[in-house]
A and B are shown apart, each in its own frame.
Chain A
Amino acid sequence: MTQLTSIDFLVIFAYLAVTMAIGLWIGSYVRSGSDFFLAGRSLPWWAVGMSLVVTDMGGTDLIGLGGDAYRYGIVMGNFEWIGCVPAMIVGGFVFIPHLWRCRVTTIPEYLERRFNVQLRSAVAACWLFFMACNLGVMLLASARFMNSLAGWDLSVCILVTALLVGIYTWAGGLGAVVYTDVMQGFVVIGGCILFVVIGIFELGGIEPLTDKVHVVARLKDRDDIRQREQSMSPQELAAFRAKNHQRRFQTESEHLSLVLPVDTRSPAPWPAVLFGLCFIVGPGYWIGNQCMVQRALGAKSEYEAKASYIYGALIKNLIPFLVAIPGLIALVKFPEIGHGRADEALGRLVGALLPTGLRGAFVAAFLAALMSSVDSYLNSATSLYVNDFYRRFYRPSADEGQMLAVGRWTTIGFVAWGIYFAFQLMEFPVGIYTIFQTLASFFVGPTFAVLLAGMLSRSASGDAAVTGFYAGVLTSLGLFGLNQPGICHWLGLKPLFQIGQPYLYYSIWSFVVAMLFIVVFSYFLRSDPPEKTCYAIGGIGPEGGPA
């Protein structure tokens, strides 16, 4: 634990003051629900692109991915590279322009136009649950980081962060979120580059860093193999030793490889990376997550919506170097932290590496990353509730002024919920990034399946899509259950998956099951009328009417 000096506090205060000023200034221009939820469709590509990157990077990535890089190595960079870049490019050229043409505010709204209201409600409820939980996870992530860095009280950290973000999101809606994200993006990327450069210099350069990572990680690998062997039967032990004979004597660890074998302990063996992350989780996240898509829907033209995703993909190439390398530096500097407390590695590294003033700059960068995620999830959760439940079922005739008022009250409600949930999570021992990814894996696969079927096929029917979505969610929940040690012990089975956190596999199978149900049921059920099927890609013209 390190102390922040008055210079550090001055830097942090200056950052927070500028953020609040931008957010409240944008808020003074918000006059309607459309301004609040889509910034009046006036956002430029560069602001949306930076907002996409910094929202996705967020506090969970900075701490959680940094912590997982400490545990498993650079393989976690796959989540930012192959999990984002291909999906953003395909999404930017194919799916996002179509959603922008449809002039929708939320993804579930599109699903009602293409399929039916049951699917809209089911998808909105699932993503609302995911976003509400995430608010608590993100607030707790920041509090733990500040606690490990400066010893600040967890409760105070949660309350202060939530209130600061809540105020400018309440005032300015999506516009405030996106433009503060741009400023936060420069602070985050600048702060992280500074941090990585200082860390590499401290260790004598890139080559000494990689050499030391191999040495430390190999020692940890051997401890891990020894522990695994102790829990095996004689037959399992013989098979394991035969298979791992070569790996015992290699001098390089897996910590600096992006492609890991099937029996790795990390959550990212190569089949999960290729079939889960690249083909399902990445596209599902960048096309089906309201939090990401909403800002592109607020772009001022179809071209600007496309450009924002391509620009974001370009910046994404840089991000893993900024979040994973600090985890590797921490592994070399503090090998004694251990897997269980790896999320604390980054906080300790900041205290050890950075001098006064720069420490405050990095804390500001971290707060910027965290606030950019919290404000986005806050605004998107509000959009889902107000558009897909309040306006759809309770007050269909609500005017723009009423939508703005309800949006602001809902924002306050979600801030209160986020604070409450963060307090409930305090005693939860699992890694922060794991909680986030596991929650996402329940819904990403089925959502991507219904979106893909709806956009690419006119023969997919609404009833089949609803059935497929429910079947997919139940599949991921079932697989999650069958992998819990308590449930397996009760059923007398061994866990279904061998890797530690198999959330990528949940996504693969939930997508496959959902798509199977959609295809089979669509074959037997009557297809939707033309006013529904025209919302498939190619059915809507540039002006928003039928092509």
Chain B
Amino acid sequence: MTFLHWIGDALRQLFEQVPLSVAKWLLIGQFLALIFWVVQLRSSETTPQDHQSKWYEDLKIWAWLALMMQIVIYGIF
């Protein structure tokens, strides 16, 4: 039994205490955090700067959509 085995066993026992439903919400939670981060990005960071941009050229919308799809998928499975 080495120090590395001891660390591994301690972490394993710690994570075994976490119910799978909580683990699932941890995964979904980081998608939610990313959505909040994307929403607060400045428009200058998410739209083309060389011309007047159309609404669909704002990358925020598509990033938001991709993350929402992830939340639905992780909600189902």
Contact = CB atoms under 8 A, between A and B. Distances in A.
- The yes or no verdict on A and B being binding partners is yes
Interface of A: 74, 77, 81-82, 85-86, 89-90, 92-93, 256-263, 269-271, 273-274, 278, 301, 303, 306-307, 310-311, 313-314, 316-317, 482, 493-494, 496-498, 542
Given A274-B30, A316-B66, A493-B1, 4 more contacts: A85-B66, A86-B31, A93-B38, A314-B66
Nearest to B11: A271
B15 A310 contact: no
Contacts of B4: 482, 496
Interface of B: 1-2, 4-5, 8, 11-12, 15-16, 18, 20, 23-24, 26-27, 30-31, 34, 38, 41, 45-50, 59, 62-63, 65-67, 69-70, 73-74, 77
Contacts of B24: 258-259, 270
B50 to A, nearest CB: 7
Nearest to B8: A496
Given A92-B59, A256-B77, A306-B59, A270 B34 contact: no
A314 B62 contact: yes
Contacts of A310: 59, 62-63, 66
24 contacts: A81-B70, A85-B66, A85-B70, A86-B31, A89-B34, A93-B59, A257-B77, A259-B20, A259-B23, A261-B20, A270-B27, A271-B15, A274-B23, A303-B47, A303-B49, A307-B59, A310-B62, A310-B63, A311-B62, A313-B66, A314-B62, A316-B66, A317-B69, A498-B12
Contacts of B2: 493
Given A86-B30, A317-B73, A262 B62 contact: no
Contacts of A303: 47-50
A158 B53 CA distance: 48
A259 B27 contact: yes
Contacts of A81: 70, 73-74
B46 A82 contact: no
Nearest to A302: B49
A51 to B, nearest CB: 17
B38 A89 contact: yes
Contact of A270 (B12, B23, B46, B59): B23
Contacts of A278: 27, 30
Contact of A82 (B20, B48, B70): B70
A461 B71 CA distance: 39
A424 B24 CA distance: 42
Given A278-B27, A303-B47, A494 B5 contact: yes
B59 A262 contact: no
A493 B5 contact: yes
A78 to B, nearest CB: 9
Given A303-B49, A310-B59, A314-B66, A74 B77 contact: yes
A480 B11 CA distance: 18
A494 B8 CA distance: 12
A270 B19 CA distance: 11
A493 B15 CA distance: 23
B53 to A, nearest CB: 9
Contacts of A86: 30-31, 34, 67, 70
B30 A263 contact: no
Contact of A93 (B16, B45, B73): B45
Nearest to A306: B59
Nearest to B9: A498
A93 B77 contact: no
A307 B54 CA distance: 14
Contacts of B48: 301, 303
A502 to B, nearest CB: 10
Contacts of A494: 5
A115 B64 CA distance: 35
Closest 3 A/B residue pairs (Cβ): A270-B23, A258-B77, A303-B48
A316 B66 CA distance: 9
Contacts of B16: 261-263
Contacts of B77: 74, 77, 256-259
Nearest to A313: B66
Contacts of A93: 38, 41, 45-46, 59, 63
A496 B6 CA distance: 10
A94 to B, nearest CB: 9
A270 B20 contact: yes
Contacts of A317: 66, 69-70, 73
Contacts of A262: 12, 15-16
Contacts of A257: 77
A85 B65 CA distance: 11
A260 B23 CA distance: 9
A475 B40 CA distance: 38
A274 B25 CA distance: 11
A206 to B, nearest CB: 12
Nearest to B33: A86
B71 to A, nearest CB: 11
In this complex, which of B4, B38, B77 has the most chain A Cβ atoms within 10 angstroms of its Cβ? B77
A288 to B, nearest CB: 20
Contacts of A271: 11, 15, 23
A303 B74 CA distance: 30
Contacts of B67: 85-86, 89
A91 to B, nearest CB: 11
Contact of A314 (B38, B49, B65): B65
A496 B27 contact: no
Contacts of B23: 259, 270-271, 274
Contacts of A74: 77
Most interface-central of B49, B59, B62, B74 (chain A CB within 10 A):
B59
